[in-house]
Each structure stands twice: as structure tokens, then as C-alpha cells.
Chain A
Amino acid sequence: MKFLIVFRIALRAIGRNLMRSLLTALGIIIGVGAVITMVSLGEGARAEVEEQVSRLGQNVVLVFPGARQLGGVSIGGGSANTLTVEDARAIREEIPEVVAASPEVRSQRQVVYGNRNWFTRIYGQSADYLQIRQWPLEAGRMFDEEDVALARQVCVVGQTIVDELFEGTDPVGETIRVRGLPLTVIGVLSSKGMSLMGSVQDDIIIVPYTTGFQRISGRSHAMVINVQVYDADAMDIARLKITDLLRERHRLAPDQDDDFTVQTQEEVAAMATETSRVMTALLASIAGVSMLVGGIGIMNIMLVSVTERTREIGIRMAVGAHGKHILLQFLTEAVLLSVLGGLLGILSGVAATNVIAHYAGWPAALSEQAVVLAFTISAAVGITFGFFPALKASRLDPIDALRHE
């Protein structure tokens, strides 16, 4: 018996109960659609994070306040007050492998220019921060050591600030106000791109850390110290030396734990990867559950279908169908049902991804792997959950099946 004929019979059986078939496949459609959407958005976010991490700069070591915690360090919090501006200066001056060190302080403030205002993040950094980040300027200049030493009221601004406050006009030389404190714009940062993380990165104002600590945040401790080492091979040495130096400066006894954490760019990247792995596992389990539910739906409807069509099975057997013909017919129907569900799910997932990416401005990378996997899994679900009903159909006794009402 030709497979094409089996395929046609199955297709027709599905078409005959189109509404029921669609509802049956809905579990698979939703499951696959959700997974495609989530994976695509997750993939986009992961690519962004990777990009961002790589943009942290070359040979960068980050020193965080507070001890290393289980399951990673709180990067954003600045949870402890153990790192000072002097620590940063000491790292830079006393460790020969270090070429730059920038004590960072962050604040979120309302910024005013003329009759416009914008809520943004203000970073206090050292003059060599852009070198550490390898972040070029688009216009103007970066503040220098003197600006830092004198805590001058100058700043460089990101692209979002240019757009929101200056409506795209050249801001260099203009003065903005942060809680009444005037800051002269001396430079414009190049854009990080029109994506989720990019637009967040562009929404930034950088001031000398002295200005940041004293005039804006009112804090006295660094949230993180960005350190650049001259060579990749010197990273480990630099790291050990930073640890020793800070332990000494913080007067830690040998039995005391570090009150700071030194991490390389690779470790931060590894953490991001770990996070995405956890996310992927989560998605996989969601996918698994929805596929299971979808598969049970298919099994259920196939059992109904076998019962409904008992007489048809009897007729086919009477005129010479083998058990395996019947098995193949119902199995094909189940697989077709789940694969059609999978295809519809992929389509709806791609559509949802594009809609979300477009309207929410999130980055999305359609994962071909996820599409192929979703398709394969839906076919496998069809085989797995269609097999029992098909086997049941193939084992019917033709005499009983013919008599079935």
C-alpha cells in the first residue's frame, strides 16, 4: 500500500473534523508557539548580554564590594560599603599590571534641559573609563584627569539623552541640570544600537567620579571598580595582587573572608551563560509539559476516532487490510495532526516573536534550531501518543468491528 494513499486518507480524516482537529492540536500549537517565542526572545537577549559582556572591554577585571555569595554576586546592588575611591587609586598605582581603574558610582536622577526633562542613570567614572570599555565618542571629548581632580561639573551623554533632551541637535557646550546642579556637556557617546540592551546602554550620563560621589550620589563608596590589565596573560597575577592589596588595605586577618569579590570578564560572561542555561532548562520543561498535555489530547481524540470509526476499520479489514495497514493509517493521522499543530505553532511563534520584537523593541533572534527541534518533537509526540490508539485499532477483530454500531 502506497504511503501517499495512507497520507491522503489521514489528511481527509483530519479535514472531516477540522474543528475538532484544530482544538486537538491546540495544545501542541500553544506549546510550540510559546517555546519558539520564548527561545527567540531569550536567544536575542542572550546575544545582547554576550555582546555587552564582550563590550566590557579587553582584559577587564571587576571588583565588587561584599563577599562572594552562593549562586553568584549581586552585580547591580553595590550591597556593601567596602570599596573606596582610594582602593581604586591604590589598585591603579601600586599594581604594575593594571593600566586603568575606575571607581564606579551610579545614581538615577531627573535631568533637565530647557523645558525638557528625562529620568536617566548617571555614572561617576574615572577619565580612562571609556578606554576600559572601549567605547568611542561620537563628538566632543571625554573629561580628563584634571576634570576629575577638580570635580568639574562636566559630563558626556549617551545617544538616548541626545534624542530625548536635545531632540537630536548637537549638545556639546550646552548645560543640563541635575537637581539644580549644572553640568556642561563636553562629549557624546557613540550609540550602542537600537536594541533592548543597547537603548538601555545609550540611556546614560557619565560624570567624573569625584563629581558623582560628592555632588550627585552623596555616597562615599564605590559600587564596583572597573580595572583594566595590560595583557590577558597578566589577568591571574593582577587578580591575586588586587586581592592581596585590598586585604591589606582593609586590614583583614588571615582567617577572615574577603570583603570584596574580584571577577574577570570571562566569569561575568560565564554567569550570564549560566543564567541563560537555567532559562533554557526552564523553557525546556515548559515545552515538555505543554507537549505532554498536547500529546495526551491527541491520544484522547485518536481513541475517540478509533471508536467512532470501528465500522470503517471492520470494512477495511474485511476487504483485506492487514493490522499493520490500519496501524499505519491511524499513526499517520496522529503524526499529521501533531505535525500540523507543530507547524501552526511555529508560525504563531514566529509571528508573536516579530510582533513583540517590533512593538516592545526587544531584540529577537529566530532560532532555527528551536524551529527544527519543535518540528521534530511534535512529530515524535504524534508517534508516541498516536501509537497506542493505532495499535488498538489494528488489533480489532473484523467480525466485531463490522457489527459495531
Chain B
Amino acid sequence: MTDQAGEAVVALEGVHKTYGSGGSRVAALRGVDLMIRRGEMLAVMGPSGSGKSTLMNILGCLDRPGPGRYLLDGVDVARLSRDKRADLRNRKLGFVFQDFHLLSRTSALENVEMPMLYHPDRITRRELRRRAEEALERVGLADRARHHPNQLSGGQQQRVAIARALVNNPAFLLADEPTGNLDTRTSFEIMDLFQELNKEGLTVILVTHEPEMSRFCSRVVVLRDGRVVRDEPVAGRQSAKELRDAFDREHPVGETLSEPSEAS
């Protein structure tokens, strides 16, 4: 992931997307041009109805773009079959969702192993375990591998989800409101994790409606009415770690804000 920084991971050219048919057609995207380079940390923002979700579904290969072109790591997504898109999601994409979307009553380790089960290459059991443990270690949860989601805090669950997203070495992480269900301090922790991963060279695309989250990114894209209305680098990018430390100073009790046992 760290190689060839600057190469385009995502290239959207005049992407349209229309839902419905006949008189009730709704244009969600009306010609989006977007180039995302390796190593970027991008925030996609916009009010609801701006086409944000549609763009995310297309970027995530969950939906096909209408007219226009989408090259993911050089692969033309528009012409791929359902199964080929599934393979692409498996190998090139890591999803992080607002409500974590972990499999309940399944250990953290097995949740992280899950994407590898669908990998087109055969992966041995031993390798499966090794890579899952490695991914968990990367998000700082090596000691929680055997825990089930309901035994983990919201922040920990999101970390498991991030480990799951990382395990197949994706071209980029696609995070949809990853801090939407988390308290302030835990949000900083998760953003810190994203920043660290980004520092290691991972491309991160963050879809959010919280302006403060976009300040941790390197670039902000704002959508409105299905078009990109702003696309600029973030001036004065903030460090989530510093903000977390500042938060801890302001709330010296530190309490257990980040350790509620039941989340979601």
C-alpha cells in the first residue's frame, strides 16, 4: 500500500446515477468527476440528498454507476458482473460502517477472518488466523480476539470492523460515518487510528456529515445536488491524537466514557 504514492486509486469521470423510471426519475448524481490518489485521506461531505450515499455505494462497488466511468485501481467497474464486483470488494475494498455491522455471537477473530473466506485464492486455516490476528493487533485489539461483539465497547467494535476491512490488504478504506455512533473521545480514538493507518500509506475515504471529522482529513469534497461543489485540501489538518489528549485534560476524571459495554 505504501508503494507509488500519488497514483490514482479512484478515478470517476462524469458519473451519473438515476433512480426510478419514467416521470418519477430522481437524479442522484449528475456528472461527478473525482480523482483520488494513493495515500490520500478524503472526506466526502454534503447534506442529506446531496448524493453522498449514492456516491459511496458506487465507490464501494455495491452499485453500478450510470453513464460515466469509474476506474478502481485501473479496473473499469461499470462493466463488471455482480460476482466480479463482489471479488473487487473483497480484494480492493475495506468497508467501515456507522453501526459496525459485525456478526453477533461470533468472536472478533472470526469476524476479521470472514472476508478471507470469500477470497478467490485459497487461504489456509493457519494463514487465515495469522492474518486476522495481525489485523487485530494493528487496531490494538490483540487481547480481545476471543471476545464477542456484545462484550466489546462501541469503540472496540469499530476497531474490529476496521481490522476486518484491513485484512485483505485493500486499495482503500471506505468509511461511512464511522464515528456516528460513538462518543466524542472514542470518535477521536477512531479518527486517530484512521490517521495512523493513513500515515502508513493507506488510502482512506470518509463519508461524513460532521464538519469536525473532515478536519482530520487531507482533502474535503463537498457534494450538493449530485455534483461536486467544492474540492480542496484541508488547511490546518488536525491530529486526532492531540485532540483526544486535550479532551482528557479537560475531562480529568477520564471516566469510562469510552467503555460502555453495550453499544448498538
* Smallest beta-carbon distance B147→chain A, Å: 17
* Smallest beta-carbon distance A69→chain B, Å: 67
Q: From residue 280 to 339 of chain A, which have CB atoms closer than 8 A to chain B?
A: 311-312, 314-325
A185→B198 CA distance, assembly (Å): 107
List the B side residues contacting A315 at CB < 8 Å.
101-103, 114
A320 close to B103 (CB less than 8 A):
no
Q: Is A360 an interface residue (CB 8 A)?
A: no
A312 close to B103 (CB less than 8 A):
yes
Q: Is B142 an interface residue (CB 8 A)?
A: no
- Among residues of B, the one whose C-beta sits closest to the C-beta of A13 is B105
> Contacts A318-B95, A320-B90 known; A399 to B57 CB distance under 8 Å?
yes
A402 close to B118 (CB less than 8 A):
no
Q: Is B230 an interface residue (CB 8 A)?
A: no
Stretch binding the partner chain, chosen from B22-30, B65-73, B80-88, B212-220: B80-88
Q: Is B89 an interface residue (CB 8 A)?
A: yes
B86 close to A322 (CB less than 8 A):
yes
Q: Is A398 an interface residue (CB 8 A)?
A: yes
> Contacts A312-B103, A402-B97 known; A318 to B62 CB distance under 8 Å?
yes
Q: Is B39 an interface residue (CB 8 A)?
A: no
Q: Report which of B103, B105, B118, B164 forms a contact with A1, defined as CB distance below 8 A.
A: B118
Residue-wise, chain B 91-123 has the 8 Å CB interface mask toward A (1 for contact) of 100010100011101000000001101110010
Q: Is A150 an interface residue (CB 8 A)?
A: no
List the B side residues contacting A318 at CB < 8 Å.
60, 62, 89, 95, 101
A319→B86 CA distance, assembly (Å): 7
B118 close to A316 (CB less than 8 A):
yes
A323→B118 CA distance, assembly (Å): 11
A400→B57 CA distance, assembly (Å): 11
Q: Is B63 an interface residue (CB 8 A)?
A: yes
List the B side residues contacting A70 at CB < 8 Å.
none
B115 close to A319 (CB less than 8 A):
yes
A1→B60 CA distance, assembly (Å): 22
* Smallest beta-carbon distance B78→chain A, Å: 17
> Contacts A320-B118, A321-B118 known; A399 to B90 CB distance under 8 Å?
no
> Contacts A1-B118, A5-B117, A311-B101 known; A320 to B87 CB distance under 8 Å?
yes
> Contacts A316-B114, A320-B115, A322-B118 known; A399 to B86 CB distance under 8 Å?
no
* Smallest beta-carbon distance A348→chain B, Å: 30
List the A side residues contacting B164 at CB < 8 Å.
319
- Among residues of B, the one whose C-beta sits closest to the C-beta of A324 is B83
Q: Is A251 an interface residue (CB 8 A)?
A: no
A312→B111 CA distance, assembly (Å): 11
> Contacts A316-B118, A402-B97 known; A323 to B82 CB distance under 8 Å?
yes
Q: Report which of A311, A314, A325, A399 forms a contact with B118, defined as CB distance below 8 A.
A: A325
A314→B114 CA distance, assembly (Å): 13
A321 close to B97 (CB less than 8 A):
no
B105 close to A16 (CB less than 8 A):
yes
Residue-wise, chain B 8-42 has the 8 Å CB interface mask toward A (1 for contact) of 00000000000000000000000000000000000
B117 close to A322 (CB less than 8 A):
no
> Contacts A399-B62, A402-B101 known; A320 to B82 CB distance under 8 Å?
no
A317→B60 CA distance, assembly (Å): 12
Q: How large is the interface on A (under 10, 10 to 19, 20 to 34, 35 or more residues)?
A: 20 to 34
List the A side residues contacting B82 at CB < 8 Å.
322-323
List the B side residues contacting A319 at CB < 8 Å.
89-90, 95, 114-115, 118, 164
- Among residues of B, the one whose C-beta sits closest to the C-beta of A16 is B105
A2→B122 CA distance, assembly (Å): 8
* Smallest beta-carbon distance B123→chain A, Å: 9
List the A side residues contacting B90 at CB < 8 Å.
319-320
A238→B83 CA distance, assembly (Å): 78
List the B side residues contacting A314 at CB < 8 Å.
101
* Smallest beta-carbon distance A332→chain B, Å: 14
A325→B86 CA distance, assembly (Å): 11
Q: From residue 178 to 234 of chain B, which have CB atoms closer than 8 A to chain A?
A: none
List the A side residues contacting B60 at CB < 8 Å.
318
List the A side residues contacting B97 at CB < 8 Å.
402
B86 close to A321 (CB less than 8 A):
yes
* Smallest beta-carbon distance A297→chain B, Å: 24
Q: From residue 386 to 403 of chain A, which have CB atoms closer than 8 A to chain B?
A: 398-399, 402
Of listed B57, B60, B86, B102, residue having the most chain A CB within 10 A: B86
- Among residues of A, the one whose C-beta sits closest to the C-beta of B57 is A399
- Among residues of A, the one whose C-beta sits closest to the C-beta of B63 is A399
A176→B97 CA distance, assembly (Å): 94
A269→B20 CA distance, assembly (Å): 73
Q: Report which of B57, B63, B91 forms a contact with A320, defined as CB distance below 8 A.
A: B91
A16→B103 CA distance, assembly (Å): 13
List the B side residues contacting A317 at CB < 8 Å.
86
List the B side residues contacting A324 at CB < 8 Å.
83
Of listed A1, A318, A398, residue having the most chain B CB within 10 A: A318
List the A side residues contacting B57 at CB < 8 Å.
399
List the A side residues contacting B115 at CB < 8 Å.
319-320
* Smallest beta-carbon distance A376→chain B, Å: 30
List the A side residues contacting B83 at CB < 8 Å.
322-324
Of listed B97, B114, B119, residue having the most chain A CB within 10 A: B114
- Among residues of B, the one whose C-beta sits closest to the C-beta of A317 is B86
List the B side residues contacting A321 at CB < 8 Å.
86, 118
Of listed A16, A320, A321, A323, residue having the most chain B CB within 10 A: A320
A228→B82 CA distance, assembly (Å): 79
List the A side residues contacting B95 at CB < 8 Å.
318-319
Q: Which residues of B contact A (CB under 8 A)?
A: 57, 60, 62-63, 82-83, 86-87, 89-91, 95, 97, 101-103, 105, 114-115, 117-119, 122, 164, 168
A320-B115, A324-B83 known; 14 other A-B pairs, CB under 8 Å?
Answer: A1-B118, A2-B117, A316-B114, A319-B95, A319-B164, A320-B89, A320-B118, A322-B87, A322-B118, A323-B82, A325-B118, A402-B62, A402-B97, A402-B101
The list of the 10 closest CB pairs from A to B, nearest first, reads A320-B90, A319-B115, A320-B118, A322-B83, A321-B118, A315-B101, A320-B89, A399-B62, A320-B86, A322-B86
